[in-house]
């Protein structure tokens, strides 16, 4: 094979070579017989490999394809200095394709052994090197986790990943994020910006589902010269299904657990008048559980009219705009009858203790009755987007989770 065919293999060029070699394999590179003599007139099995021998600057996501002609593959290994590539053999034993991603700036040796119909073995060795990385990216934060959310979460909980570098090649990254569950779930990833991607199901998670997220990012291209530094896995569990619904018109919260009402709670919501004093309507999620929270007036500094700073107890945060479900002994007389708060959901001290103790991070808290809608980017307002809207910001669209 001429020297001009060696060197850098990129994108469509690699695909063309794969197709060519799988249809008409040429003479094997560095092949030698290793089996016992007595193969009769049958020729040795021929082996072809893509990438071609001594290819350079091979993309890390390129698939290594080994094909046998006149026989079947007995073994294939692809080993680099820092890693190895696993693969899958076709049902007829004539083709092997790698799985996973190679590391950037590494050299790999492919060793393939094929046997002809009478068992004579032929060994083929080739090598290639991958493109070098200018810089790397990694996961800066991933939720749920043990410290911030706990490992048992509510049915509305999204998976949230933040990267430490802007991602330009979103398709490459997203296709290497695997979600595995104990119950099949239809879901999709959603990019909020070039560093932030979240996953949610089409509908709330099934109760008591076990979830494992596998970020196979080592060597994955994130942009020009940018490659993933490492893999990362997390696991968590969806708890019982608890959904709280409240109306600013009826002034009550109804808590349902696995479909059954377990608590009716009188409440007082935002008094309105000023836009920021309306409680937002929509599907909120419990974002934190705090025994003590110091609240200050939004957008108003000390000394200005309307400024306040107060300590409240037993709070459950439901947005980034300062909304909580919390204990409010000063408004007990209005709870169940009228809305007098600055936007939070006021409940009695005893109900607040119960609500804090019985809420998981990610539990849906759905408020209706106000003119102010919760924005999808206000806290964890993910469920404010319908399925079609959610998919607009997915690079590979929806999928059914793999079995755990």
Question: Residue 296: its pLDDT value, please?
Answer: 81
144 and 30 fall within a common domain:
no
Give a yes or no: residue 381 inside a domain: no
Pull the structure tokens for residue 294: 């110091």
| HEC assignment per residue over the chain | CCHHHCCECCHHHHHHHHHHHHHCCCCCCCCEECCCCCCCCCCCCEEEEECCCCEEEECCCCCCEEEEECCEEEEEEEEECCCEEEEEECCCCCEEEEECCCCCCCEEEEEEEEECCCCCEEEEEEEEEECCCCEEECEEEEECCCCCCCCEECCCCCEEEEECCCCCCHHHHHCCEEEEECCCCEEEEEEEECCEEEEEECCCCCCCCEEEEEECCCCCEEECCEEECCCEEEEEEECCCEEEEEECCCCEEEEEECCEEEEEEECECECCCCHHHCCCEEEEECCEEEEEEEEECCCCCCCCCCCCEEEEEEEEECCCCCCEEEECHHHCCCCCCCCCECCCEEECHHHHHHHHHCCCCCCEEEEECCCCECCCCCCCCHHHCCHHHHHCCCCCCCEECEEC
59 and 155 fall within a common domain:
no
Among 198, 251, 344, 382, the one annotated catalytic:
344
How far is 211 from 239, CA to CA, in rounded Å? 11
The number of CA neighbours under 13 Å toward the Cβ of 227 is 18
188 and 217 fall within a common domain:
yes
- SS3 of 185, please? coil
Last residue of a domain, one of 97, 130, 163: 130
CA 87, distance to chain mean position in Å, is 23
23-37, 199-213, 227-241, 372-386: the lowest-pLDDT one: 23-37
142 and 116 fall within a common domain:
no
pTM: 0.84
Nearest to 140 by CA among 102, 86, 185, 194: 194
pLDDT tens-digit readout, 222-251: 999 999 999 999 999 999 999 999 999 999
Number of domains in the chain: 3
Give a yes or no: residue 380 inside a domain: no
Give a yes or no: residue 160 inside a domain: yes
123 and 148 fall within a common domain:
no
Domain with residue 227: its CATH number is 2.60.40.3710
Taking residues 128-147, report their average pLDDT: 97
64 and 172 fall within a common domain:
no
pLDDT band at 15 (very low <50, low <70, confident <90, very high): very low
Nearest to 138 by CA among 39, 48, 220: 220
Per-residue pLDDT for 14 more than 80? no
Per-residue pLDDT for 37 more than 50? no
pLDDT tens-digit readout, 297-333: 777 778 777 677 889 999 999 999 999 999 999 999 9
pLDDT tens-digit readout, 353-400: 999 999 999 999 999 999 999 999 999 999 999 999 999 999 999 999
Give a yes or no: residue 383 inside a domain: no
Question: Residue 40: its pLDDT value, please?
Answer: 52
Domain holding 177, by residue range, is: 135-239+388-403
Last residue of a domain, one of 105, 130, 155: 130
Give a yes or no: residue 67 inside a domain: yes
Give a yes or no: residue 379 inside a domain: no
Question: Residue 41: its pLDDT value, please?
Answer: 77
Give a yes or no: residue 71 inside a domain: yes
Give a yes or no: residue 262 inside a domain: yes
Question: Residue 4: its pLDDT value, please?
Answer: 36
274 and 342 fall within a common domain:
yes
Last residue of a domain, one of 130, 147, 175: 130
Question: Residue 309: its pLDDT value, please?
Answer: 83
Domain with residue 316: its CATH number is 2.40.440.10
296 and 363 fall within a common domain:
yes
167 and 123 fall within a common domain:
no
Active site residue 235: no
Per-residue pLDDT for 95 more than 80? yes
Taking residues 280-292, report their average pLDDT: 98
Q: How much is the mean pLDDT over the chain?
A: 90
30 and 64 fall within a common domain:
yes
Which distant-in-sequence residues (6+ apart) come within 8 Å of 16 by Cβ?
Answer: none
Taking residues 67-81, report their average pLDDT: 97
Among 251, 278, 326, 342, the one annotated catalytic:
326
Q: What is the DSSP string of 360-382?
A: -TT-EEEEES-S-BPPTTSSS-G
11 and 80 fall within a common domain:
yes
312 and 229 fall within a common domain:
no
Place of tokens 């919390």: 326
pLDDT band at 7 (very low <50, low <70, confident <90, very high): very low
Question: Residue 1: its pLDDT value, please?
Answer: 38
Domain with residue 10: its CATH number is 2.60.40.3780
Active site residue 252: no
């Amino acid at each position: 094979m001429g020297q001009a065919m060696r060197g850098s293999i990129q994108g469509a060029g690699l695909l063309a070579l794969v197709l060519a070699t799988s249809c008409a394999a040429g003479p094997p590179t560095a092949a030698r017989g290793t089996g016992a003599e007595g193969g009769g007139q049958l020729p040795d099995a021929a082996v072809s490999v893509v990438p071609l021998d001594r290819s350079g600057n091979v993309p890390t996501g390129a698939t290594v394809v080994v094909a046998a002609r006149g026989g079947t593959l007995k073994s294939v290994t692809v080993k680099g200095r820092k890693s190895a590539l696993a693969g899958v053999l076709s049902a007829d034993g004539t083709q092997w394709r790698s799985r996973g991603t190679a590391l950037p700036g590494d050299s790999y040796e492919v060793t393939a052994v094929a046997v002809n119909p009478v068992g004579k073995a032929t060994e083929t060795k080739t090598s290639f090197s991958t493109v070098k990385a200018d810089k790397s990216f990694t996961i800066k934060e991933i939720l749920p986790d043990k410290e911030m959310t706990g490992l048992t979460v509510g049915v509305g909980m999204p998976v949230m990943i933040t990267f430490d570098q802007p991602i330009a090649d979103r398709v490459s990254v997203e296709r290497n994020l695997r979600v595995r569950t104990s119950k099949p779930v239809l879901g999709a990833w959603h990019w909020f910006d070039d560093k932030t991607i979240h996953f949610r199901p089409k509908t709330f998670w099934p109760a008591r589902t076990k979830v494992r997220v596998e970020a196979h990012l080592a060597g994955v291209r994130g942009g020009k010269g940018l490659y993933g530094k490492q893999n990362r896995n997390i696991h968590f569990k969806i708890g019982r299904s608890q959904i709280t619904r409240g109306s600013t018109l009826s002034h009550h919260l109804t808590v349902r657990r696995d479909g059954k009402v377990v608590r009716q709670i009188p409440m007082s919501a935002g008094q309105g008048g000023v836009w920021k004093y309306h409680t937002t309507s929509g599907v909120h999620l419990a974002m934190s559980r705090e025994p003590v929270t110091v609240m200050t007036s939004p957008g108003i500094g000390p000394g200005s009219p309307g400024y306040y700073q107060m300590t409240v107890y037993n709070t459950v945060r439901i947005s980034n705009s300062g909304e909580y479900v919390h204990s409010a002994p000063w408004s007990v007389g209005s709870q169940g009858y009228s809305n007098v708060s600055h936007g939070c959901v006021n409940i009695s001290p005893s109900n607040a203790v119960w609500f804090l103790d019985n809420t998981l991070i990610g539990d849906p808290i759905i408020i209706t009755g106000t003119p102010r809608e919760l924005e999808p980017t206000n806290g964890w307002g993910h469920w404010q987007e319908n399925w079609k809207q959610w998919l607009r910001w997915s690079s590979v669209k929806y999928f059914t989770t793999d079995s755990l």
